Structure 1
């Protein structure tokens, strides 16, 4: 029996040594205070308090090392510990170092037996690294918020339910809501109308950001429009992505630039590249492009017939009255052509006094004869320009297209040109480019 007791004592001593070694090497501070005074401190707390050796802190009141504001709550926590092994809830507090500095820690107190007397063992975790990380994150968030708020690019964060979590000032300005706040507003309830790239209504459920929320897909460089409450229409180039791609509950972030002026400028440049600056009609390049597209179709031709129109004697108008009046005549002729043709027909100026008309598919031959007659009559109506009464006749060449037409656009243009010259002798009614001066000088 005595041997068994001896063995038990040895085991207990070994266990105590192992525990003591574990505590001594713990990265967390461990102290024991009895009757309010420190009776044990491990090396980690010695370093944390800035002491040179454990003797520098043993025997001192535990409250000497606790920030005054935290003493009361600490004493209240340990007062609630009644039975050996009871532990307090983790609590944050500030310790005072021997050099007067402070350090934030998290502590847990346990009621224990120390040398056969009740005492409190405290495990102390240094929060310095955590605080640094939190401060760094807070500074990063503040920096990010500041940067986002200064961006000219609109940025909106949208939650899983389709409501705005945050929105920067640029987005508010773009939406025409500067000075207001749209946080908490559902995308479908915004005080504006969404449009697709063609200007058609776009429901919130069809907006690319809805697809990002549904699938997690990143969508870049899409174009959409907004009709604002103030009547302005703005065009935006946007991208949408998940804010936290690894989180299935992540909100989406939509960013966009206002491209209204750029879009208008680009359309203006495209218009200038494809239209005659004097008459506003399609230019040679655009007409031949449309013709090429029609010739590439095997059936249901979008263009049935090509008309080549030449103004008879126009050179004499320029030579006699000057190019300014000649330009006016061309502008009026262009207007008359447009009024005489259908909306689906294409009329262009291909150079000088030559015009090309692409009649849309479905025009019947009997209709064609009547159309040519009407065009000649429209051209023959007198033009009043700067006090001059001018008569302009037109020669019109006609060439039809047919399914499977193998001609090139230039070949079609040549055939129509030949047909126009063949029609020229019959196109004169009152003499080419004849000019009369009216009694009044009103220009029209």
Structure 2
């Protein structure tokens, strides 16, 4: 019997030794106190309290190492523990180190046997690293929020289902929805007080917007252009991109960013217009005329343009020489207006330069009485022009060349033939007012 007891005692001692070894080497602090006095601490607690050794802590009042603000709550948690094994809920509190610094911790107190009586065993988990990580994340989020809020580019986060989770001030300014953060947050895209447009200014349903494709497939879409018609009547054009906020998350929201390119788009169109139109008259310039003529000649079927008219003002040089270039410019502008009014909307009227004009008569299978048209044009342009008190008579010579399917001429060759026909119509050789050019398809009027 005595040997059995000895064996049991040995096993118990061996188990206790293992427990002490575990407690000594655990990364969490272990503290035992009774009657408010510390009776045991492990090495993790010594390091946590910045003590030189356990002797500096053991025998001291527990409250010496607890921040005054945390003491009342600690007592409230410990006092109700009356039965063996009773434990408090995990609670955050502040401890005081021996050097006076504070350290955030999470503690659990357990009423446990200690020698021949009960004492409170406290498990202490250091929250310093966690708090540092949380603070770093908070600063990063604050920094990100500050940066995004200062961007000129709009940024909107859209959840699955189309609900807007956040929008920076630039996005609200571009959408024209106001300055409040909650004015569009929580709304779905189709509830916004504006109409989405595609690049061709056609209505764009939200489910066809590129951000919808990103949400459906996870695909990143960049460099797309779309427009918004705002409730204040303004139309804004935007260049955007969309991508998943968290690519590894299958339920991730999408972030859509976009820049306002309204002025740039208008400026580009203005530049394109200036590159293809005469600055004085607003008519098509030589570049646009040749481009349209080349497109017509490249068509093997019905030609978009059937006839070319080369128009030169007679005696215009004397107007510039006697009345000045300002009046000469006015004459050119009035002639351009008369030509546009006298022709159909799908005929192209251009100015080659100086007092030379060109007309491309629309084809589309319609027969045109070219001779009759030329007479009407000359009659229209011969009406006196009143410019700055001067009554000016203007006449014109018109050369005509017709285009046929399969015409092998270059645009420059067509202009040359029309030019030759126009010179044949110059006075004093004008009879019917029609100058003749190439034998088969060119004549003058």
What band does the TM-score fall into relative to the shorter chain? 0.7 to 0.9
1:412 matched residue in structure 2? 414
Question: Which of 378, 381, 384 is matched with 1:382 structurally?
Answer: 384
Deviation at 1:2, TM superposition (A): 5.8
* Distance in 1 (alpha carbons) for counterparts of 2:273 and 2:94: 72
Preserved CA contact (<8 Å) 1:227 1:233: yes
Map residues 214-253 of structure 1 onto 2, 5 A cutoff. Answer: 214-253=216-255
* Distance in 2 (alpha carbons) for counterparts of 1:132 and 1:31: 24
Preserved CA contact (<8 Å) 2:302 2:365: no
2:348 matched residue in structure 1? 346
Q: What CA deviation, in whole Å up to 9, does each residue of 1:275-323 have, x standing for no partner?
A: 1111011110111112222223333433333222222232233233332
Question: Which of 265, 272, 275 is matched with 1:273 structurally?
Answer: 275
Deviation at 1:177, TM superposition (A): 3.4
Q: What CA deviation, in whole Å up to 9, does each residue of 1:82-132 have, x standing for no partner?
A: 554444332111112222221100112333222243233222111111111
* Distance in 2 (alpha carbons) for counterparts of 1:292 and 1:7: 110
User: For structure 1, which runs of at least 5 residues remain unmatched after alignment?
Assistant: 432-444
* Distance in 1 (alpha carbons) for counterparts of 2:206 and 2:284: 38
Question: Which of 252, 262, 265 is matched with 1:263 structurally?
Answer: 265
Preserved CA contact (<8 Å) 1:303 1:360: yes
Deviation at 1:349, TM superposition (A): 0.5
1:48 has 2:55 as partner: no
1:60 has 2:60 as partner: yes
Preserved CA contact (<8 Å) 1:345 1:357: yes
Deviation at 1:27, TM superposition (A): 1.6
1:162 has 2:165 as partner: no
Q: Identify if the C-alpha distance between structure 1 residues 251 and 367 changes in structure 2 by more than 3 Å, giving closer, same or farther.
A: farther
Q: What CA deviation, in whole Å up to 9, does each residue of 1:231-271 have, x standing for no partner?
A: 22222222222222222222222222222222222222222
* Distance in 2 (alpha carbons) for counterparts of 1:356 and 1:329: 16
2:22 matched residue in structure 1? 22
Preserved CA contact (<8 Å) 1:155 1:256: yes
What value does the CA root-mean-square deviation take over the aligned residues? 2.6
Q: How many residues align?
A: 431
Preserved CA contact (<8 Å) 2:91 2:108: yes
1:184 matched residue in structure 2? 186
1:436 matched residue in structure 2? none
Preserved CA contact (<8 Å) 1:393 1:429: no
